[in-house]
Amino acid sequence: MIRFILSRAVQGMIVIVAVISITYTLMYLSPGSPFASEREMPENVRESLNRIYGLDQPLRVQLWRNVKSFATFDLPVSYRLKGWNSGDIIAQAAPVSFTVGGMAFLIAVALGIPAGALAALRAGKFVDRATMAAATLGVCLPSLVLGPLIALLFGMKMKWFNVAGWYDSDDWVLPAVTLGLISAAAVARLTRGGLRETLAADHIRTARAKGLDEKTIIARHAFRLACLPLINYLGPLAAGLLSGAFVTETVFQLPGLGRHFISSAVHKDFTVAMTLAALFAALIVIFNLLVDILQAWLNPRIRLTEK
């Protein structure tokens, strides 16, 4: 177990270094300059800026400098937000995204799993159809549509919450509900699918034949297995939710990570883009590891070995 975790940690680090390097190279190759502005600047200023930030050096020197700064946790300064290093920027935005993303994750799980399970157990009945229709709608509705709708209904019309902003202690609610509902839809569909498949499996039939009561069968035998595809999905979902959601953050004006993802790419802010990519990669690595451990625990057929 410990060997497994260690070897995955080493793999994870290699992945993160690769992600940083690829991000930097892509940014380097993409057109535009991080220093371009509507008012043209003199050539000597452009040259000085490139020299100050080391952008005049060959790509491999630039890459090495950045990988080194990440390895030593001495994060590089942002090209756009002058006087802030990319670590400061992430440190300001991460708590916001973690709160909203974490709550959205809880909503998705708390809503999606019971709904999916209910649908599976009442397969073909009205409850199933209604839940799945709602879930399909949820999967199809982009946050760009759902977000403003929720803001209009619970913010503007009902006056329950602020339509946007990050000031009051309850400002996480509407964005978390938006993200949570959308994810809950996918969770519900996966739970339903997994549970229906498991309920038709041989060992469940055996359990029924043994005369176990239906509640025990579902809770102890079926649900554990039915969770496997769901857990595979929940790992990346958690990483995705925690690292921020651009559209939801824009609609609700949250100072989270998602907006930095887009603005760093649009403004060619190499360093912030790299730091975010590294953070996202780290989250994915961590959650995938958690998923593997959870799966091994839930399904005895999976063993944590490296060979």
Query: Which residue ranges make up the site for other proteins (CB under 8 A)?
Result: 30-42, 44-45, 48-49, 52, 77, 80-84, 89, 92-93, 148, 151-152, 155-156, 158-167, 250-253, 255-256, 259-260, 263, 266-268
Q: Which is nearer to other proteins, 80 or 189 (CB)?
A: 80
Q: Which is nearer to other proteins, 269 or 292 (CB)?
A: 269
In DSSP terms, 77 is beta-bridged to 85
Q: How far is the CB of 53 from other proteins (least distance, A)?
A: 9
Q: Which is nearer to other proteins, 71 or 95 (CB)?
A: 95
DSSP state of 77: B
Residue 94, φ and ψ in degrees, nearest 5: -60, -45
Q: Which is nearer to other proteins, 12 or 155 (CB)?
A: 155
User: What contacts 24+ positions apart, CB below 8 Å, involve 247-251?
Assistant: 247/142, 247/143, 247/144, 247/147, 248/100, 248/143, 248/147, 248/175, 248/178, 248/179, 249/97, 249/100, 249/175, 251/143, 251/144, 251/147, 251/148, 251/151, 251/164, 251/175, 251/178
User: By the 8 A CB rule, do 208 and 57 touch?
Assistant: no
Residue from 207, 211, 233 nearest 220 by CA: 207
Q: How far is the CB of 162 from other proteins (least distance, A)?
A: 6
Q: How far is the CB of 265 from other proteins (least distance, A)?
A: 8
Q: Is the dihedral of CA 198, 224, 190, 288 positive or negative?
A: negative
Q: How far is the CB of 248 from other proteins (least distance, A)?
A: 11
Residue from 100, 102, 242, 111 nearest 185 by CA: 111
User: By the 8 A CB rule, do 34 and 265 touch?
Assistant: no
Three-state secondary structure call for residue 55: coil
Q: Which is nearer to other proteins, 57 or 263 (CB)?
A: 263
In DSSP terms, 237 is beta-bridged to none
Q: How far is the CB of 235 from other proteins (least distance, A)?
A: 28
Q: How far is the CB of 256 from other proteins (least distance, A)?
A: 8
Q: Which is nearer to other proteins, 40 or 213 (CB)?
A: 40
Q: Which is nearer to other proteins, 34 or 138 (CB)?
A: 34
Q: How far is the CB of 285 from other proteins (least distance, A)?
A: 26
